[in-house]
Amino acid sequence: MGNEVQEAEVRIQELTRELNDHNYRYYVLAQPSISDQEFDKLLAELQTLETQWPELQLPDSPTQRVGGTITKSFPIFLHQKPLLSLGNTYSLEDLEEFDVRLRKGLEGHPFHYIIEHKFDGVALSLHYVNGILKHGVTRGDGKQGDEITQNVKTIRTVPIRLKGALAGATIEVRGEVFMHTADFIKLNQEREENGDPIFMNPRNSTAGTLKLQDSAEVARRPLRLVAYYLDSQDLTLPNSDYERLALLQDSGFFVSPFNQVYSTLPEIKTHIDSWEHKRSELPYEIDGMVLKVDEIQLREELGFTAKSPRWAIAYKYQAEQAITQLNGVTFQVGRTGAITPVAELEPVWLAGTTVKRASLYNADEINNLDLHIGDQVVIEKGGEIIPKITRVHLPGRHAAGMKVSFIQTCPACNTTLIRNEGESNYYCTNHQNCPPQIKGRIEHFAHRKALNIDGLGTELIDQLVEKGWVKEVTDLYSLTKENLITLNRFGAKSADNLIESLEKSKRVPWPKVLFGLGIRYVGQTVAEKVARAFPTLTDLRSADRESLVAVPEVGEKIADSLYSWLHQDPNTPAFLAKLTQTGLQLSLSPEDIPEKISDKLEGKSYLFSGVFTQFSREKLQQMVLDHGGKIATSVNKKLDCLVAGENMGPSKLSKAQELGIHLISEDEFLSLLK
Ligand code: IVH
């Protein structure tokens, strides 16, 4: 036994070190040295070992990166030194004045400038104690912020243990949390596919993500950190900021490789100019440059005004803007019936592309802008991505232009729109017969990540829906070659191909079929988890709301959506009856069911209640399944064991005691698995 512990300990240390190193190579250096699959395999090995030997988990274990804790409200954290904001300017003359002020303030004492990119994200302060990340704190009002440590640990470019020059140190690091543009676009695409509202820009989505209560969700969002500040109460650090940042880089942080030190303003201006256009080639957005005195001692001499330091200034690039005419507003109907307003613009050239349309997001946005048809509007590439209207250029307003207001009825089927409480979107509820919704559902079903039906493109879907041949995805399976070849530009060969793709889709596994049904909020990951928890459609239909909530990744909102789709929509029973006849996979095939680690909990049911300290509830439930057990969803006679965390609900406890159900702690549960 002693030997076994030792082996586990050594292996856990090895895996932790290796995985942290791979993480660093992948996210900070962008030079991965193993494949994603190999990484996942090592991570799974570490997770299994940590399950068996929880006491051997290291404080910098990379398994923390996947999150799993739920924080109901974030504790308040007082900043050691306030997080100040910066004076902003758009003009180079202001930089000259800044330079003159500095030289005067420092009485001719020589100094250097450090110039950095101004990342367009959210500020974060990190506290390391003896080399380990202890607190991650938002800026808040500058004096105190929210402690969001569990969320911060999921950010791959935040080292959990300092290495190199600062290994073991007690320091504060500050930086900006941001997203790569491509990651942001992908995130929005996924949200659109899942029927979630999209984010306006990477900064908004970063800010929203950091405040999520579920750290597992944070872990799925592509956040990064760039470090731009290092301080310590008990270490002597270099006087040069640039050298301090080099220490951070050596310790595992991502530090911008474009930081530069100069001694004169003309050099600074040249540097700023050279990035005005080059910035569009970066994989992330910067909205300007930050110019700071490099010598920390001199910064202290210069001090602060009420709001910002005297030793730094932000130079912001003009957002690339254009003025054009608003020709109209159209309203698009999405797959779930959500209505998105779109501005139709007189085509105009902006930052490398011709812009004809801009997103208006929702009714509030339209009201805030006070748009009239024919207005001259100022458009900006919202962080160079989706163009948006920032304001009306009033001198260009024609008296006759009609005020734009949100429509009351569906533009496609005339049904009166509804707005759910607390949501900014309007919906058309005619899911059965509204053509764009039908088309959207078919497109989603045919998508590569769902049933992957080759040859079923938008144009064909339009025709199939307009002819009335397809109203539901199930109708696709009744299409015949004879019907198909009568369609526009559709020959015998295409018909054969489509029929073959449809045949092939009958082998697509149940989780993807469930995703393909396009139930609101049931994205790929959720569909996967639900399909594993309910291996057949029949199981899923007999699940109560509570057992849906018990599925990992499924919260109240998703459970409500699934439950009402299954049970409250009057069309569902007939639809499911047809679905069963298509021959699609509506149950998991044996090879899709993951192998068990052991039979230790065979046949026994477990219920977890309260807050757990060593592992998240999701993870604990997964362990039950891995060892052959079952997850129960309520306290009743059939329950074998209730695992009680902290702050467990009193009603569950008394009911369990009444029924004489075996009650154990998290530690006792974990020792069952050893
Ligand atoms: S230094 C007092 N450096 O911009 C010093 N800030 O408008 C302020 N920011 O709150 C921090 N990139 O969130 C600094 N290279 C950079 C930055 C940066 C982005 C953000 C930061 C700050 C805000 C000030």
Gap from CA of 292 to ligand 1 centroid (Å): 10
For the cut 60, the answer to whether the pLDDT of residue 634 exceeds it is yes
For the cut 70, the answer to whether the pLDDT of residue 385 exceeds it is no
Q: Give the residue whose CA is nearest to atom 23 of ligand 1.
A: 85
Mean pLDDT of 532-546: 92
Q: Where are the domains of the chain?
A: 2-63, 76-261+279-316, 321-396, 453-505, 510-592, 605-672
Gap from CA of 187 to ligand 1 centroid (Å): 25
Q: Which of 350, 500, 520 is nearest to 431 (CA)?
A: 520
End-to-end CA distance of the chain: 11
Separation of alpha carbons 419 and 335, rounded Å = 16
For ligand 1, mutation pick of 176, 210, 258, 284 (most atoms within 8 Å of CB): 176
Q: Within a 10 A sphere around the Cβ of 368, how many other Cβ atoms?
A: 11
At 284 the pLDDT is: 92
Separation of alpha carbons 186 and 168, rounded Å = 37
Separation of alpha carbons 630 and 641, rounded Å = 11
For residue 8, what are its two tokens?
A: 């586990």
| Confidence (pTM) | 0.69
117 Cα nearest atom in ligand 1? 15
For residue 255, what are its two tokens?
A: 């530090």
- Between strands 605-609 and 641-644, the pairing is parallel
- Between strands 312-316 and 88-89, the pairing is parallel
Tens-place pLDDT, residues 258-278: 999 999 999 999 999 999 889
Separation of alpha carbons 530 and 540, rounded Å = 8
Which residues have a catalytic role annotated?
118
- Residue 107 to residues 298, 308, 465: CA-CA distances in angstroms? 11, 21, 77
For ligand 1, mutation pick of 80, 81, 86, 231 (most atoms within 8 Å of CB): 86
Distance of CA 339 to the CA centre of its chain: 23
For residue 376, what are its two tokens?
A: 């001259």
| Beta partners for residue 403, in sequence order | 372
For the cut 50, the answer to whether the pLDDT of residue 622 exceeds it is yes
* Residues across the chain: 674
For the cut 90, the answer to whether the pLDDT of residue 447 exceeds it is yes
Report yes or no: 307 and 82 within 8 Å, Cβ to Cβ: no
Q: Which of 98, 103, 113, 100 is nearest to 268 (CA)?
A: 113
Separation of alpha carbons 405 and 363, rounded Å = 8
At 172 the pLDDT is: 98
Using DSSP, state whether 435 is helix, strand or coil: helix
Separation of alpha carbons 51 and 46, rounded Å = 8
Tens-place pLDDT, residues 140-190: 989 999 999 999 999 999 999 999 999 999 999 999 999 998 899 889 888
pLDDT band at 384 (very low <50, low <70, confident <90, very high): very low
For ligand 1, mutation pick of 124, 178, 228, 231 (most atoms within 8 Å of CB): 228
Mean pLDDT of 620-636: 83
Separation of alpha carbons 75 and 147, rounded Å = 5
Pick the CATH number of 605-672 from 2.60.40.10, 3.40.50.300, 3.30.365.10, 3.40.50.10190: 3.40.50.10190
DSSP class per residue in 567-578: HT-TTHHHHHHH
Domain 76-261+279-316 grouped into CATH 3.30.470.30: yes
**Residues in the ligand 1 pocket, defined by CB under 6 Å:** 84-86, 116-119, 123, 176, 228, 290, 309, 312, 314
Mean pLDDT of 120-128: 96
Using DSSP, state whether 88 is helix, strand or coil: strand
Tens-place pLDDT, residues 290-333: 999 999 999 999 999 878 899 999 999 987 789 999 999 999 99
For ligand 1, mutation pick of 225, 279, 290, 291 (most atoms within 8 Å of CB): 290
- Between strands 321-333 and 338-350, the pairing is antiparallel
Phi–psi pair at 357, nearest 5 degrees = -140, 155
Compute the CA torsion angle 261, 265, 268, 273 (nearest 10 deg): -170
Domain 453-505 grouped into CATH 1.20.1050.140: no
For residue 536, the surrounding DSSP H or E stretch is none
Fold of 2-63: Helix Hairpins (1.10.287)
Report yes or no: 65 and 156 within 8 Å, Cβ to Cβ: yes
**Is it true that 453-505 and 510-592 share their CATH fold?**
yes
Q: Give the residue whose CA is nearest to atom 17 of ligand 1.
A: 118
Contacts of 421 (CB under 8 A, 6+ apart): none
Separation of alpha carbons 223 and 586, rounded Å = 36
Gap from CA of 118 to ligand 1 centroid (Å): 6
DSSP class per residue in 521-535: T--HHHHHHHHHHS-
Separation of alpha carbons 253 and 248, rounded Å = 6
Q: What is the largest CA-CA distance in the chain?
A: 90
Domain 510-592 grouped into CATH 3.50.50.60: no
Report yes or no: 527 and 514 within 8 Å, Cβ to Cβ: yes
At 559 the pLDDT is: 92
Mean pLDDT of 531-550: 91
Pick the CATH number of 321-396 from 3.40.50.800, 3.40.630.10, 2.40.50.140, 3.30.565.10: 2.40.50.140
For the cut 70, the answer to whether the pLDDT of residue 382 exceeds it is no
Q: Give the residue whose CA is nearest to atom 1 of ligand 1.
A: 228
Q: Which of 596, 591, 584 is nearest to 510 (CA)?
A: 584
Report which listed range, 27-36, 146-155, 312-321, 398-407, is most confident: 146-155
120 Cα nearest atom in ligand 1? 19
Report which listed range, 17-31, 392-406, 550-564, 617-631, is most confident: 17-31
Average pLDDT, the chain: 91
Gap from CA of 113 to ligand 1 centroid (Å): 15
At 330 the pLDDT is: 95
DSSP class per residue in 453-498: -TT--HHHHHHHHHTTS-SSGGGGGG--HHHHTTSTT--HHHHHHH
Gap from CA of 499 to ligand 1 centroid (Å): 57
DSSP class per residue in 270-312: HHHHHHHHHGGGSSB-EEEEEEEESBHHHHHHH-B-SSSBTTE
Q: Which of 662, 663, 630, 648 is nearest to 547 (CA)?
A: 630
Gap from CA of 76 to ligand 1 centroid (Å): 21
For the cut 70, the answer to whether the pLDDT of residue 383 exceeds it is no
Mark residue 242 as left, alpha or beta (left: phi above 0; alpha: psi -120 to 50; beta: remaining). alpha
- Between strands 144-146 and 662-665, the pairing is unpaired
For residue 232, what are its two tokens?
A: 């310590």
Gap from CA of 316 to ligand 1 centroid (Å): 12
- Residue 151 to residues 73, 119, 224, 358: CA-CA distances in angstroms? 12, 20, 12, 33
84 Cα nearest atom in ligand 1? 2
At 158 the pLDDT is: 97
Contacts of 26 (CB under 8 A, 6+ apart): 32, 39, 156
Q: In what order do the strands lie in the sheet with 113-119?
A: 88-89, 312-316, 286-293, 113-119, 260-262
